Each structure stands twice: as structure tokens, then as C-alpha cells.
A and B are shown apart, each in its own frame.
Chain A
Amino acid sequence: MTPFESFASKAVPLPIDNVDTDVITPIGRVLEGAEALVRYAFESLRFAPDGSLRRDCPFNDPAYAGARILIGGENFGCGSSRETAVWALAGMGFSAVIAPSFGGIFFSNCFKNGVLPIVLAAEDVAAVARHAAGGSEILVDLGRQRVSAGALERSFEVPALRKEALLDGLDDLGLILKRQEALAAFETRDRLERPWVYLSPA
């Protein structure tokens, strides 16, 4: 993963609640592979039934070309655990998603792929979206944990561990593997207390 750096960019507003990961990456496209995932991300929103691009979809609006931020609605990324949803967003060039709330597994998947999910209050998300409409830039500063949209500046929460992993461009595996000793100690204790958990002898 490339280390996450602060950036300013256009942001695509997608003010729809409960955008699920089946909508982000429909199963048929998931099965077609990495390229189709990205090309057909948000297929039912971006494409008309005849396969043409929908003019009224913000993803297709040239005003947002090059945007690295997506502004979603409540419960963005709910549904299936498919990590392809985050892979598709990253493939489309998004590095951050701002929404009032996220689907839990999607939220966690974001951090594993260098995409920063930012939770802001619904009215702040709406204000950021208003600023972004038409192509004005939004600033995302992970180091200072701040989002700026014109005069509006809001801080967001992110656990230190996840922040560092993003800034260093690492996933958790290194951190977990570093704690194998603690894990072994846990298991030695636990094996005495709950021997039925361990399906083979030590």
C-alpha cells in the first residue's frame, strides 16, 4: 500500500443512503475480474439499462473528473463483506469516503486498502457536499484529522493504530505478527481453561 498523504481534491457527492456493496460491485462483475470491477462499479447508478452512461449520475459528470473523495449517505457500504467494493473505489481513484455512517465490514476493509473512511455528522456531510457541488476542492488531512471545505473545517476520529497504518502504508498483518508471543501466551492459558476449543493437541 502507498503511504497516505494529505491531499486536496474534488469530491463526488452521492447523497443516497444505504448504498450497499452489491451496488458498488455487482456479483456478475465481481466474477469477471479486476478490470470489470472498476469499469462497472456502481453499475446500476452509472449506466442506463441500454449500457450507455447516465448523464444525471454525478460519477459521469465531467465537473468531478479526477475526484479522489466520495461523499456518501448513511450506512455507506452496507451489505456483503466483499472487499471488491473497496478495490473498485480505489481503482476509480478514490482515497477517502466521507459519510455520516458506514457498513461495518466495509469500514474496516477501507483501512486495509489505503482508503480513509471519514465519519462526520450528517449536517456536516451535507455542508461538505454543498461545497463540493460543481467541483470545488475539499482538503483531507489525516495527520491533523481534519476535513476542510471552504470556510468549514471539521475534525474526525480515527484510532491511532489505523491512522499510523495508513500513514505508513501498512496493513495490520505486521502488527499482528509482531504479537505472536502474546498470542502464544494467551493460548497456553486458554488451552487449560477451554481445552475443547483446540481441535488438536498442543
Chain B
Amino acid sequence: MAASLFDKLWEGHVVDHLGDGMDLIRIDRHLIHDLSGPASLKMLSERGLSPRAPELTFATPDHRVSTEPGRTGGGSPANDKALAVLRRYCDRYGIQLFDLNDAEQGIVHVVGPELGLTLPGLSLVCGDSHTCTHGAFGALAWGIGNTEVTQVLAAQALIVERPGSMRVSFEGELGPSVSAKDLILHLIGREGAAGGARHAVEFAGEAVTGLSMEERMALCNLAVEFGASFGLIAPDETAFAFLEGRRFAPKGELWEAALQSWRRLPSDPDARFDAEIRIDASTVAPQVTWGVSPEDVVAIDGRVPDPAAAEGEKQAEARRHALDYMGLEPGAPIEGTPIQHAFIGSCANARFGDLAAAAEVVRGRKVADGVRAWVVPGSQAVKRAAEAAGLDQVFRAAGFSWREPGCSMCLAANGETVPSGERAVSTSNRNFVGRQGPGARTHLASPVTAAASAIAGRLTDPRRLGAGG
């Protein structure tokens, strides 16, 4: 029978069917970080258990670390303590840790693929919702809670409910200054933040196959903001070329055998999906959020929605609440809204290609007065590559600060926050109330839109600055 990529991934990992759609799934790779890791490791030891396959688990601190140049820890006693706990357990259990100033430290979802820990056909979990990022390689990857982290450590397997399947096809070519981030924000705006709920979503279509791996990761990164259980892209030559030679990727004969197996993963031509969505990518403009959910999004040349035009009282009330929190006027053009902060970072958009695209916008220009602009590379490897290409100089010359890798202002767990009532354009993935700090106002956008906005001091259509595709 014809099978989809998701069918093949799922069935390839079922150890046992447990009824009612619940399956025992074998876990191939496990990533750990300094926010969910310490408590889960502690739970494991308190239950008198130890890891079943520590060689398949890898750790790196990212969420709570300072990204201040010259950092020595987490920027607070509590964060330093969490880091110490992570170190102690990794050491005790033989879990490889890419520690604070290790050459491979960075945000887990940037580091996994860089090291070839993420591979097509693997099942991969992490105590972090954006683990769906790794689905860009055709891996069965999803975020789990603390209890499940402990279970994976103890048993290398999880009980999971099989979701339905959905295919989202982006046809046509991307317009100028439009990136994967704009595609996924557009999709979430159109279908809602629960549009993909209880579904494994495969992204397909020529606009997707034409994307670099970095762009594909940005697309899959926000699958969870679409409510999806998984975000997947069929592995192809682009994925294989990205992975070949990476530290933990198979080598020699194993690589060849793996390639053969991976080439069988893409959905069969007549595979069936429970739901299908088609979007003409050429009609998608650069996107920016106006509210407090990623579904609150408009084209950069659009207007802030009016609660009076909402469908029903519940939506009207939600819009009033969002506009009140965001300090925006209904019906006003979103472009031109003054900002005080620009954050280029996070597991959505802090890879080399993101920084390079933003640097092209910034080159030879200056950050507007009154804007605090940061670039936080996604990993040490990204930072090194960017510095080798001179991007750090471009950003510095424009007035950006160039920082150490970590989650930083995406999560605001390390004192790196947007002050209450102030407004940020951010390349991260969540504009929730208080996400970047209590009272912080977040506008999600692509790297080029964030860069153009930092220069102008207001939300700005990157096409005005001639930002490249």
C-alpha cells in the first residue's frame, strides 16, 4: 500500500501496538538542555534508574545561559546552579555535553543537525517543543515534557498516540525578500494556531524543495506554532549534501547504506493524507505579527485588524485584548510602528544563512537611534562561520551587538529581556504575552524584515531596502 513519509517513519519505530492508536515508539536520538534537562535527570536518579543508552543522548546548555560576550555562566545564581546540575549528571551518566564554551555549544535545534546527530529516518526527541525543527531532514522529531525525558533516559522508548496526517504544499516561487519564515507565518495566519493540531504535517511543493536546509529548518521550526505534532520534509539531495561528513553522520559504507535507506523515505506518489492544504507561495508577502499568538499575523504592507470586524464576540474580545497588550490601534498600517529592540536569534532564525541575509540588509547602514539591536548566533559553529565571512564586522559597524550563542531574548530566561511596554521585532517563534519579558511587545518576522526594521527604527517592509530573496 502507498505510504507517506510519516507512515514510513512511524511504522519504522513501532515496537508494540498498545491499542486505541497508542504505540510504543523506539527513540534513536535524545537531546537535552539546561531548562528541562536538570529536573528530568534528577527525577531519573531519584527513581533509582540510570540511562539505558547514554551514547544516544547529547546535551548542551542554551536556554538559561548568558549570551553576553565574555560570559562565564547563566547570568544568575539559579541558572548557574542548573548548569552545575546538568554537568554533574552528564558526567555521572556518561552523556556527552557540549558545554558553555565548547566549540559545538549552541541551541539544541541548531547543534543537532550541525553535528549530524539529526539524520533522515531517525526518531529524535528533546524536552523542548521546537524539536519539530529536525523534521526538516525527514526525521520523526517532536518535543516532550519532563516526565517523558526521564522515560526516554530510562527506557529509550515512549508511548505516543499516532496523529493524523496532513500535507501542506507551497507551490510556485517565493517573491523577493520572502523566506520560509514568511511562508509558515502566513500558513498559521490562514489556518490558525491549531490548524495542524493532532496531525503530522508534511511540507511539500516546489517552493519547499527549492529551500536550503536552513530555510527548511525555519519552516519546520514553527510547525508547533501551527499546532502540529510533527513537521516533516522529504529528505533529498539537499539534505544529504548538508549532512555528509558531519561529525556523527555515518561514513564510508555506512553512509552509502544509509543513503539507500533514506532514498526510500519520501511519500509514495499516491500516498494519502487525512488533510491537504495548497498555498501559492508567490502570493505570500513578508509577514509580521501584530498580536499575542503567531496566528495574529499580517503582510508587512497590511493593517492591524479591527475588533469591530471580527467574527463573533470571542474573536473581538481576543483582538481587543491583543491590541491592548500590544499598544496598537485597530486599522492602522503595521508598517511604520516604532520599535525599540531588534533581536536576530533563536532556533527559528539564527543559522548562517539567516545572519548572512540580514547582514546584506544591514551592510553600510546604521541601526536607528534608540534601537537596541542584537545578533545572537544559534551556535558556536554559526558564530565561527559568520566571523570567517566578516558578518560580525558588518553587524558591529551598523551598531548591532554581536553575542555568544544561546536562546537569549527568545525566552528571556537569563535576564536578557525586552522591558515592559517596549516593542521588539524578533526573528524568534513566539509572540506570547510576556514571552520576551513581562509586558514585552513582540513582533515576529524574518531576519531580513527584522534587519530592515532595526535600520529604520520601525517595522519596515524589507523590499524597500532591496533585501534579497
Contact = CB atoms under 8 A, between A and B. Distances in A.
Nearest to A15: B314
Contacts of A162: 22
B129 A17 contact: no
B128 interface: yes
B441 to A, nearest CB: 13
B395 to A, nearest CB: 27
Contact of B56 (A26, A86, A177, A199): A199
Contact of A197 (B28, B155, B163, B439): B28
B26 A28 contact: no
Interface stretch (B12-20, B234-242, B362-370): B12-20
A173 B150 contact: yes
Given A31-B78, A78-B227, A200-B55, A171 B147 contact: yes
Interface residues of A, number: 60
A173 B155 contact: yes
Contacts of B224: 79, 104-105
Given A18-B193, A31-B78, A183-B24, A81 B155 contact: no
Interface string A188-201: 00100111111110
Interface stretch (A4-12, A57-65, A90-98, A108-116): A108-116
A66 B255 CA distance: 60
A187 interface: yes
B148 A75 contact: no
B413 A27 contact: yes
A53 interface: no
Interface string B382-424: 0000000000000000000000000000011100000010000
Nearest to A23: B433
B60 interface: no
B254 interface: yes
B20 A108 contact: no
Contacts of B465: none
A172 interface: yes
B272 interface: no
A22 B147 contact: no
A105 B151 contact: no
Interface in B426-441: 430, 432-435, 438-439
Nearest to A76: B194
B435 to A, nearest CB: 5
Given A44-B434, A161-B20, A190-B26, A27 B156 contact: no
Interface in B136-159: 142-148, 150-151, 154-159
A74 B194 contact: yes
B248 interface: yes
Contacts of B155: 173, 176-177, 180, 183
B67 to A, nearest CB: 15
A4 B356 CA distance: 54
Contacts of B154: 173, 176-177
Contacts of B35: 82
Contacts of B150: 173
Interface string B147-178: 11011001111111101000000000000000
A83 interface: yes
Contacts of B79: 31
Nearest to B199: A104
B72 interface: no
B29 to A, nearest CB: 8
Contacts of B3: none
B257 A183 contact: no
Nearest to B196: A104
B159 A176 contact: yes
Contacts of B144: 81, 105, 108
A159 B197 contact: no
A151 interface: no
A159 B127 CA distance: 23
B189 to A, nearest CB: 13
Contacts of A182: 15-16, 24
A198 B255 CA distance: 13
A169 interface: no
A115 B331 CA distance: 42
A20 interface: yes
A195 B121 CA distance: 12
Given A104-B197, A113-B147, A159-B19, A75 B127 contact: no
Contact of A105 (B143, B156, B250, B413): B143
Contact of B147 (A109, A160, A186, A193): A109
Nearest to B163: A104
A175 interface: yes
B36 interface: yes
B21 A159 contact: yes
Contacts of A176: 24, 151, 154-155, 157-159
Given A18-B193, A105-B143, A196-B250, A82 B36 contact: yes
23 contacts: A18-B295, A20-B432, A32-B78, A75-B192, A75-B227, A79-B129, A79-B224, A79-B432, A81-B127, A81-B129, A104-B163, A105-B143, A108-B160, A112-B145, A159-B161, A161-B18, A161-B159, A172-B158, A172-B159, A176-B159, A194-B261, A197-B28, A200-B55
Report the 9 A-B pairs with minimum CB-CB distance, sorted nearest first: A196-B250, A159-B20, A83-B145, A75-B194, A112-B147, A109-B145, A83-B146, A81-B129, A22-B432
